[in-house]
Structure 1
Amino acid sequence: MLTGKQKRYLRSKAHSLKPVFQVGKAGVNENLIKQTEDVLEARELIKINILQNCAEDKDSIANELSGGADAEVVQIIGNTIVLYKESVENKKIELP
């Protein structure tokens, strides 16, 4: 569980990132969750964009992705979700 200070730090780090994935009308599936896990292991912090044609709620998408990838939801702002998961092999981000 992330503290408020850690979430603020991660939000500042994520500000300059570009979205890695887009969730469209197909929604969240096993393939997307697996790819999210792999990218989180490599990068630790990612953005995911939700397209307008997506029928699911952004909170439910964030919960599905974070639960499936065992990650933390840092922020949901507009149609963008920011996820964080500490890498096992190559730790890059040092939390305060």
Structure 2
Amino acid sequence: MLTGKQRRFLRAMGTGLDPILQVGKGGITEALLKQVDEALEARELIKIRILPNSGREPKEVGKNLAVQTGAELVQVIGRNLLLYRRSQKKPTIELP
């Protein structure tokens, strides 16, 4: 569980990131979960865009992705999510 200070730190880091994955009308699939898992392991902090044709609320999708990948939902702004999970192999982000 992240503290408020850690969330604020990660939100500041996430402002410069571009979304690397998109959730469309297919929703959360096994392929998407695998991509999110691999991206989190490689980068630790990722931004995901929820397309309008997905038919789901971004907060709902974010919570589902966080639970299924073992990540923390840092922030939801509009249709963008910010997810964080510490890398098992080579962690790079040092939380305060």
TM-score interval, smaller chain:
over 0.9
Distance 1:88 1:11 in 2: 21
Supply the distance in 2 between the matched residues of 1:52 and 1:74 (Cα, whole angstroms).
21
* Cα distance, 1:52 vs structure 2: 1.1
CA RMSD after TM alignment: 0.7
Q: 1:29 aligns to what?
A: 29
What residue number does 1:38 align with? Answer: 38
Q: Which amino acid aligns with 1:26?
A: G
Q: TM-score, normalised by structure 1?
A: 0.97
Cα distance between partner residues in 2 of 1:14 and 1:57 = 21
Identity of aligned residues (%): 48
Q: Could you list the runs of 4 or more consecutive aligned residues of structure 1 that deviate by over 3 angstroms after TM superposition?
A: none
TM-score, normalized by length of structure 2? 0.97
Unaligned runs of 5+ in 2: none
Mapped pair 1:88 → 2:88: yes
What residue in structure 2 maps to residue 72 of structure 1?
Answer: 72
The CA deviation at 1:46 is 0.1
